[in-house]
Amino acid sequence: MYRSLMNHYTGYLAIHKFEAELERELEIKGIPIALKKDRLYLVAGDHPPMIWAQVSAFKMIQIPITSIKDGAKKLRNLGRNWALFTVGNHRRAQLIQEELPDYPIKPIPFRMAIPKLPMGFWTLLETDVILAATETSSPFPLGEMTFQEDKTTPPSRAYLKLWEFFTVYAPEAISTGTAIDVGSCPGGWTWVLRTLNFENTISVDKAPIEKRIMDLGKIEFRQESAFGLDPKDFGEIDWFCSDIICYPERLLTLVKKFRDSGKVKNFICTIKYQSVTDWENTLKFLEIPNSYIVHLHHNKHEVTWFLKGAAP
Ligand SMILES: C[S@@+](CC[C@H](N)C(=O)[O-])C[C@H]1O[C@@H](n2cnc3c(N)ncnc32)[C@H](O)[C@@H]1O
């Protein structure tokens, strides 16, 4: 049945528990679902990565196979690294995977150069049909990445979002000048910015950040509401970082105020949701030119909006 459908698909592996978000995103973008298997959504033809897919697999093709060895050989002929997501025929799929080359799956250090070798994605659609893509949206298997965590210094695990961002999405970022961190308590993001050695780190929250973070020095802490900040009171800002818990609409107003000031070069902001995903305002963030939204591996029911090189 599948063999006769289309030449190729784009595959989206929905983030666990966020299948409804991916379905809504596809609907908003007018992309019909051709086939859904477990958390894997297939759409006909070429499409870009989706926010709510933990990995997007491009130009997925169907490969008829005659045996486990034949399947492994055909995959090896296409590429070296393959990540498997099983949608059925689990044992047979695992046996094929075991015939494929190993690759290291281990936690990486902050800002490690990300692997250059492409990471393929495959599944066993039927006993005798593989669906595979050599090109995917992530160099990590199924888009899953873990860090060698610092379990003692940062006061919260929120720092992992900023680690992921500066490792994967902004590895080129040079930490000179000023960074501002709004919604900073207890201090995980401020700690990351401090370790990046910005000349000046301004940290803003209604609640105080932990003393041991302040003791690192070179941090200016302002205990006030971020929404009352006036860009006029700041010089040039290299990175505007926000992890504030607030309605997306309020964050958008704050972002626009700072963006319109022309003083901010780069933004990274967590858009947090209540019980439902606020698509209306999420799409308004995307209307800001040259900006992107991703769901980081370390995001929960929230996404990360970023804009690099904003100021003239
Ligand atoms: C998820 S926490 C931030 C965690 C922080 N990024 C870290 O790494 O430790 C969200 C923070 O937003 C702060 N917040 C909420 N409303 C705020 C406002 N109007 N102005 C500043 N901070 C606010 C809360 O006090 C809370 O500390």
Nearest CA residue ID for atom 7, ligand 1: 188
E strand or H helix at 302 = strand 302-307
Phi, psi of 198 (to 5 degrees): -60, 150
Distance 225 CA to ligand 1 centre (A): 9
Q: H-helix or E-strand containing 76?
A: helix 68-78
For residue 262 the two structure tokens come to 């022309």
Tens place of pLDDT per residue across the chain (312 aa): 444 445 799 999 999 999 999 999 999 999 999 999 999 999 999 999 999 999 999 999 999 999 999 999 999 999 999 999 999 999 999 999 999 999 888 999 999 999 888 999 999 999 999 999 999 999 999 999 999 999 999 999 999 999 999 999 999 988 789 999 999 999 999 999 999 989 999 999 999 999 999 999 999 999 999 999 999 999 999 999 999 999 999 999 999 999 999 999 999 999 999 999 999 999 999 999 999 999 999 999 999 999 999 765
What DSSP line would sit under 95-146, residue for residue?
A: HHHHTSPP-----B-TTPPPP-S--EEEEEEETTEEEEESEES-SSGGG---
Atom of ligand 1 nearest to the CA of 190: 8
180 neighbors 226 (Cβ within 8 angstroms): no
Q: Which residue from 205, 239, 300 has its CB within 8 A of the most atoms of ligand 1, so it is best to mutate?
A: 205
Domains of the chain listed by start with CATH number? 2-143 (3.30.2130), 159-307 (3.40.50.150)
pTM of the model: 0.95
pLDDT of residue 115: 85
How distant, in Å, are the alpha carbons of 87, 170, 293, 307 from that of 267? 38, 11, 11, 5
Give the pairing of strands 178-182 and 200-205: parallel
| Ligand 1 atom closest to the CA of 156, numbered from 1 | 9
Pocket of ligand 1 (CB under 6 A): 156, 158-159, 182-189, 204-207, 225-227, 243-246
In the three-class reduction of DSSP (H, G, I as helix; E, B as strand; rest coil), residue 14 is classed as strand
Task: Assign 301 to helix, strand or coil.
Answer: coil
Q: Angle at the Cα of 71 (from 66 to 76), degrees rounded to 5?
A: 145
- Say how far residue 7 (Cα) sits from the centre of its chain: 29
- Cα 208 to middle of ligand 1, angstroms: 10
Q: How far is the CA of 243 from the centre of ligand 1 (A)?
A: 6
